[in-house]
Structure 1
Amino acid sequence: MGTTGKRLFQYAMLYKKSILAAMVLLVLAVCAELTGPLIAKRMIDQNILGVEKQWYEVDGKQPYAVNYKDQWFKRIDRFDDDKVEIKGKEVRVLQVGRSYYFLDGALEFSGGKREVTGNELTVANKTTGEKAVYPVTKLTKSELFAFYKPEIPGLFQLAALYMGLLVLVAIFSYGQRLILQTTANRIVRKMRNDVFSHTQRLPVNYYDNLAAGQVVSRITNDTEAIRELYVGVLANFFTGTIYIVAIYGALFLLDPRLALISLPLVPILIVWIIIYRKYAAKYNTIIRTKLSEINAMINESIQGMTIIQAFRRQKETTKEFDEMNNYYFKYQNKLLSLNSITSHNLVNVVRNVLFLAVIWMFWGGSLGAVVTVGVLYAYIDYMNRMFAPIVGIVNQLSNLETARVSAERVFKLMDEEGIEVEKGKMDRYKGEVAFSNVSFAYKKNEYVLKNITLNARQGETVALVGHTGSGKSSILNLLFRFYDTNEGAISIDGRDVRDIPKQMLRQHMGIVLQDPFLFTGTIASNVSLDNPEISRERIEQSLRDVGAYDMFSSLPGGIDAPVIEKGSTLSAGQRQLISFARALAYDPAILILDEATASIDTETEAVIQEALDVLKRGRTTFVIAHRLSTIRQADQILVLDRGVIVERGNHDALMNHQGKYYAMYQLQQGSAQTA
């Protein structure tokens, strides 16, 4: 068992009591079901074909005695061994073709070919070539029925027992399947919760190189494939294994020679599984990977549908999808061909070859002693019952490989180093932030920040300006600990941020992005993010502080108006106001505005600026802004160029310096006047 198998087993062991209960019910069902052929064997050999056993004349009517022509006869196996019973002459009832004959006497040898001519029975011994001729009388239907009549109560009792066992099998099988499949669903529910929870612990940089659709595929499609492992594959493997072991046990009880003939089936099945898995593993890995890529592309296409249609890229996008889909189709067909070759049809071929071998051995006489019809019937019944679970196992091989590959992908995601979510709380810090010679690179040796040093005191507003790619957002990513520094240190209130658990550090931070993200729900739920600690009054007050409460109150439903995915029915300004109110509702010690006013019209921006003047008191605020007019009142303005702070100071000082900031400001002012 590999690492993946061990981990799947560990998940199963979380519900070992339920699985054990299902296995007990399964064993009971198998035992009850496999008793059936033994009952059928007894009915055939004892109650039906037993009529050809020796009969002895007895004195008068008694249990199991048969009246024939005013004489009473009793079968040899119906005499009571505990009592001394007087046996008269021996007689026989013999079947020749479809007719039965009464022989008033004993047979010299019972085996051999039988022929009746007139009232004479000829029995020829195949081995010695001897022949014996006996006078016989053909029995009428009523006379024959008289010999069978004592067996009818026993037949009905065995038939009733057989039916009762079938009812028990149905009850046990129902309970076993219900418990096992319910347990399987619980296992996968637990696994899916664990996978999703782990995605919340993964650092932001993990998602930089992995498409969202691929992560979605692992949480949904791959865990669903694993569910099929527990529901279908393991159920069939458990059931099949128990059935095969039990049937072999029954075969050895029935006839050891027949059991030995059937033993090669086990190594054949094992070799079969090994060969199948060798080829199926390769195909399934490609299929699951390609399916993730298809999901990722679908997800990306839906999110970017506006751009695709606006730039008339529908044909190219469809062509790209078609190529991926055809590749997926190609390997699906390869797997289908493999499954077809190793399907239950091959099982049927093996079964038929086995039956031919048994028939050949019967006719060849190599089995030695005679095997009764009942034994032969029970053997064929057992073999048919054995091949049913073998077919079940073979048919589940494809699902087994799919689930194994899916499990590897899921566990690979779960093995990514995550950050444990701290459940405790941290006292609200003041918000004094210091960067000391901080350097950072997203990729090795490609530094986007170089020797950044800054100090922001409590209540100060620090503005970061510079061209695209100058490192403004990277500074805030480090402050939030979405990433950690390569060199240097960042501290809050004199404490290194790396010594503070990330969740606790972010408890007292608020952020407003240029492109705010809204969740499906309502306006109010997007402000509170369903945090029970944020009251309705606090939500309303936050919206009032940003000047948005009256705007949203006029909507149908007010602040309880529904918000669909990403808030696409709201304007950019409305989405930004909700995002801003969200940050304020959490009452952060450090407030970060990442180009927060870039998508807002001038009138809305004025409303936010008024709210900011009040809200910045006692709060350290970092602002990234393209509109330099919005940061004129900032306490510090840091001008970045290619990851280096090239200028710092307030607006007036930088304007007097007439450097890069002065040039940027003059350029924007000129553009505004021209516009």
Structure 2
Amino acid sequence: MTATAKKKIFDFSLLKRIFFFVRPYSSYFYLSLVLAIFMAIAAPVRPYLIQLTVNGATGKTAQVPDWVKWVLFGNDLSDVSRFIIAVTIFQISFLFIETGIRFLFSYITAWMGQNVVKDLRVTVYKKVLGLNLRQFDQTPIGTLTTRTINDIESINEIFSDGLIPIVADLLTIIITLATMFYMDWKLTLISLTPFPIMIIATYYFKESVNKSFMQVRNAVASLNAFVQEHITGMQVVQAFAAEDKEAGAFKKINEKHRDANISAIFAYSVFFPVVEVVLAVSMGILVWWIADRTLDAGLLVAFILYLNQIFRPLRVIADKFNVLQMGMIAAERVLKVLDNADELPPVQSDAFAPKHIKGDISFKNVSFSYNGTQNVLHHINFEVKAGETVALVGHTGSGKTSIISLLNRLYQIQEGEIAIDGVDISRWDTDCLRKGIGVVLQDVFLFSGTVMDNITLRNPAITLAQVEEAAKMIGVHDFIMQLPGGYQYNVMERGNTLSLGQRQLISFIRALLYNPAILILDEATSSIDTESEMLIEKAIDTLISGRTSIVIAHRLSTIRKANQIIVLDKGELKEKGSHANLLAAGGFYARLHEMQFEKKKAVLQ
């Protein structure tokens, strides 16, 4: 790991931003710190009481502190049997109390972490929903999934297994060491002679495991992105018999994940035996020193327990530190999503949100680029009056879909102005703008759920009667009723249980149902058979009547009735006018029409 990466891991400003999400649960955070302090203070109590018990049982005279007399309720401590019974009863009671507090500490830290994760995940998902579509064009979906799910889950470990537990363990070690030095500082130094070996081993273990964990995290992101992309495109993989090739690519990524995990396992396999050896050596030195000098059995037992209280946290504290580091790395990745400024400007308080949209549209000198460097639209100018139908035609890649994406502000233009009803769309309330525009896309996306859910988009205000009325209007009601369960039929993910034409019909109902002021049909009938197309032509005529409509179609026969036809080529507006005028002009549109006519004639022959 580079020095820069290390600096970022310990960036307190990063930790401060994460703790912003702890504010609603600050009382629980402070309670967990109080419990950590109590557990640290309570750690030396039982070993010390065991020391007194052993000394009493072996006949060694030992001065009993006043606080011990107090906790034993003033029992006669001169009688050894009574003393041992009283101490044992107290220790059992104390053990139950200490266990309860440890449980409460673990539960509170885990509960707080889960609530922080819940709030953070909602915040991140809302941020993702508001990003410009350009981000989804440039970022693999699997990567965003990893940020929203896996990385945020790692942040939970900052609280449940990271920062607060580390504080608790360090306090326990410090207070235990202080107790040992208070009791016998020479014996403490002698017993901790091998301790530097433990410090060195812990450092190398931390570095090794941290490097492995970073590789694991990167491999997980790669696996998620690869699997998501290839499952989505499984039809292409199988159609081109690329299963073996893609399986080989997946195997390589998976091997990197395996190797990273094995590297971490190796570090654990070396570190824990080293801890045990160092502890054994410390105990051996301890026994030798006491046997050679004091022969104090109670002190020996107490120091053995104290050493365990020091080494037990050290066994896991390096691991917890790595968990904290990975949580911070995950937090940095998640916060990069939150810091992404590539989103639509926030809606102003005086945003334009009319109750009724007429449907006048104007593009004035509009230029647009997806990547910020190479324009796909160049100085586009046209106007559409309310109630008119305009058709966009041109070869694939000419900019037709880009124009409709800009109209409802899915992307931000670099130059020019787009206005609806004379108002720049940048001044519109985004929800009001998009609710006024109905879209039927060529590539239909259906969500996992029922037909009803996909038509209404789970809007409870839309009734089944309204859905049925819209379906009957375009002649799809009978088709839906033939499905098992009718409108409650589960279309599965991406609508895979329906044909492409059926999915387009459902999306057409969806657009029709919302009764938009502006209707966009992007190759809406391209995947519908001739019989279905004829079925909905009348419904389309009814729908676009009195409504501003933008129609994109490769088949020029479907747009002859348009009031205006706009011809695009390589992002430039070449011609505009009616079907008859453009044919008479003998220009770009006429050549397109002639090419399609000749192609159709050749097919018929």
Scaled by the length of structure 1, the TM-score of the pair is 0.79
1:362-421 superposed Cα distances (whole Å, 9 cap, x missing partner)? 5776xxxx4732222211111112211111212334433332322222222222124477
What's the secondary structure of 2:498's corresponding residue? coil
Change in CA separation of 1:221 and 1:649 when aligned onto 2, cut-off 3 Å: same
What's the secondary structure of 2:546's corresponding residue? coil
Tell me how far apart the structure 2 counterparts of residues 328 and 608 of structure 1 sit (CA, whole Å): 52
Letter matched to residue 441 of structure 2: L
Letter matched to residue 295 of structure 1: N
Name the residue aligned to 2:134: 205
Tell me how far apart the structure 2 counterparts of residues 553 and 593 of structure 1 sit (CA, whole Å): 25
Tell me how far apart the structure 2 counterparts of residues 28 and 381 of structure 1 sit (CA, whole Å): 19
Letter matched to residue 643 of structure 1: G
Question: How does 1:591-602 map onto structure 2 within 5 Å?
Answer: 591-602=519-530
362, 365, 382: which one pairs with 1:454? Answer: 382
519, 525, 535: which one pairs with 1:607? Answer: 535
- How far 1:620 sits from its partner (Å)? 1.3
24, 28, 36: which one pairs with 2:46? Answer: 36
1:389 lines up with 2:399 in the alignment? no
Change in CA separation of 1:181 and 1:459 when aligned onto 2, cut-off 3 Å: same
Question: How does 1:215-614 map onto structure 2 within 5 Å?
Answer: 215-234=144-163, 236-259=165-188, 275-341=204-270, 343-359=271-287, 361-362=289-290, 370=294, 372-417=296-341, 418-419=343-344, 426-614=354-542
- How far 1:186 sits from its partner (Å)? 1.3
Letter matched to residue 416 of structure 2: G
What's the secondary structure of 2:22's corresponding residue? helix
What's the secondary structure of 2:442's corresponding residue? coil
Moved more, 269-278 or 149-158: 269-278
Tell me how far apart the structure 1 counterparts of residues 295 and 32 of structure 2 sit (CA, whole Å): 37
Contact kept? 2:287, 2:300, Cα under 8 Å: no
1:419-463 superposed Cα distances (whole Å, 9 cap, x missing partner)? 477699653321211111112222344221111100011111110
Tell me how far apart the structure 1 counterparts of residues 566 and 212 of structure 2 sit (CA, whole Å): 55
Tell me how far apart the structure 1 counterparts of residues 389 and 206 of structure 2 sit (CA, whole Å): 63
Q: CA RMSD in A?
A: 2.8
Contact kept? 2:191, 2:283, Cα under 8 Å: no
Name the residue aligned to 1:214: 143
Letter matched to residue 174 of structure 1: F
Contact kept? 1:344, 1:395, Cα under 8 Å: no
The structure richer in strand per residue is: 1
Tell me how far apart the structure 2 counterparts of residues 254 and 570 of structure 1 sit (CA, whole Å): 79
Contact kept? 2:565, 2:576, Cα under 8 Å: yes
- How far 1:347 sits from its partner (Å)? 2.3
Tell me how far apart the structure 2 counterparts of residues 265 and 656 of structure 1 sit (CA, whole Å): 97
Contact kept? 1:240, 1:392, Cα under 8 Å: no
Name the residue aligned to 1:102: none
Contact kept? 1:463, 1:625, Cα under 8 Å: yes
- How far 1:663 sits from its partner (Å)? 2.4
Letter matched to residue 228 of structure 2: N
- How far 1:669 sits from its partner (Å)? 3.0
Name the residue aligned to 2:69: none
Question: How does 1:90-101 map onto structure 2 within 5 Å?
Answer: none
Tell me how far apart the structure 2 counterparts of residues 167 and 484 of structure 1 sit (CA, whole Å): 63
Name the residue aligned to 2:67: none
Letter matched to residue 239 of structure 2: A
- How far 1:218 sits from its partner (Å)? 1.7
Name the residue aligned to 1:667: 595
Contact kept? 1:435, 1:490, Cα under 8 Å: yes
- Among all aligned residue pairs of Structure 1 and Structure 2, give the percentage whose two residues are the same amino acid: 34
Moved more, 477-486 or 519-528: 477-486
Tell me how far apart the structure 2 counterparts of residues 173 and 595 of structure 1 sit (CA, whole Å): 64
Contact kept? 2:201, 2:274, Cα under 8 Å: no
1:157 lines up with 2:157 in the alignment? no
Number of residue equivalences: 577
Tell me how far apart the structure 1 counterparts of residues 480 and 247 of structure 2 sit (CA, whole Å): 40
Contact kept? 2:181, 2:188, Cα under 8 Å: yes
1:16 lines up with 2:30 in the alignment? no
Letter matched to residue 5 of structure 1: L
Letter matched to residue 320 of structure 2: Q
Tell me how far apart the structure 1 counterparts of residues 359 and 201 of structure 2 sit (CA, whole Å): 67
Change in CA separation of 1:251 and 1:11 when aligned onto 2, cut-off 3 Å: farther
Tell me how far apart the structure 1 counterparts of residues 469 and 55 of structure 2 sit (CA, whole Å): 90
What's the secondary structure of 1:49's corresponding residue? coil
Moved more, 158-167 or 348-357: 348-357
What's the secondary structure of 1:396's corresponding residue? helix
1:656 lines up with 2:584 in the alignment? yes
What's the secondary structure of 1:599's corresponding residue? coil
1:455-513 superposed Cα distances (whole Å, 9 cap, x missing partner)? 01111111000011111111112112222222211111111112224333212111111
- How far 1:240 sits from its partner (Å)? 0.9
1:588-609 superposed Cα distances (whole Å, 9 cap, x missing partner)? 2211111111111112112222
Contact kept? 2:48, 2:302, Cα under 8 Å: yes
What's the secondary structure of 2:359's corresponding residue? coil
Change in CA separation of 1:527 and 1:263 when aligned onto 2, cut-off 3 Å: same
104, 115, 134: which one pairs with 1:175? Answer: 104
What's the secondary structure of 2:93's corresponding residue? helix
The structure richer in helix per residue is: 2
Tell me how far apart the structure 2 counterparts of residues 28 and 272 of structure 1 sit (CA, whole Å): 29
Tell me how far apart the structure 2 counterparts of residues 232 and 532 of structure 1 sit (CA, whole Å): 42
Tell me how far apart the structure 2 counterparts of residues 215 and 15 of structure 1 sit (CA, whole Å): 27
Moved more, 224-233 or 386-395: 224-233
Tell me how far apart the structure 2 counterparts of residues 277 and 427 of structure 1 sit (CA, whole Å): 62
What's the secondary structure of 2:411's corresponding residue? coil
Letter matched to residue 332 of structure 2: E
1:68-94 superposed Cα distances (whole Å, 9 cap, x missing partner)? xxxxxxxx99xxxxxxxxxxxxxxxxx
1:292-320 superposed Cα distances (whole Å, 9 cap, x missing partner)? 12211111211122221121111111111
Change in CA separation of 1:329 and 1:47 when aligned onto 2, cut-off 3 Å: closer
1:229-277 superposed Cα distances (whole Å, 9 cap, x missing partner)? 3222345313312321331243244334444557789987776666555
Moved more, 453-462 or 581-590: 581-590
Question: Which of 1 and 2 has higher RCO (CA within 8 Å, sep 6+)?
Answer: 2
Contact kept? 1:534, 1:586, Cα under 8 Å: no
Tell me how far apart the structure 2 counterparts of residues 12 and 273 of structure 1 sit (CA, whole Å): 30
5, 26, 46: which one pairs with 2:15? Answer: 5
What's the secondary structure of 1:622's corresponding residue? strand
What's the secondary structure of 1:443's corresponding residue? coil
What's the secondary structure of 1:621's corresponding residue? strand
Letter matched to residue 506 of structure 1: R
Contact kept? 2:191, 2:286, Cα under 8 Å: no
